[in-house]
Amino acid sequence: MKTQLLAAAVMLLLSGCAQIGQWEEEMDAEQEAADIKKCENRGFSRGSSAMATCLQTLSREREAEQDRFEREYEREEAERKAKKKKK
């Protein structure tokens, strides 16, 4: 009985992980499609080196924004913890 419950719990966890992976793939595909459209709207043709540069630029801008967000979050967390220690 315990083995069956454990197996069921593991299966449930694994199915959740699979769904997260699928969701991430869908998000990546949507982001790629949006980036391609944005670069095409800027006049770049699919398959050209200029398109590749445009796509790389958008990706780097997104990564930089994520880095800024993470640094700000970490700073706010450090401030919150410092205030909590003072109390």
Return the percent helix, strand and coil in the chain, to nearest 5.
90, 0, 10
Q: What is the pLDDT of residues 43-68, one digit of tens each?
A: 999 999 999 999 999 999 999 999 99
Residue 64 belongs to what domain range?
2-86
Q: Total structural domains in the chain?
A: 1
% of the chain exceeding 70 in pLDDT = 79
Residue 35 half-sphere exposure toward CB, CA atoms < 13 A: 18
Q: Is the pTM of this model over 0.85?
A: no
Mean pLDDT comparison of 6-20, 21-35, 55-69, highest-scoring range: 55-69
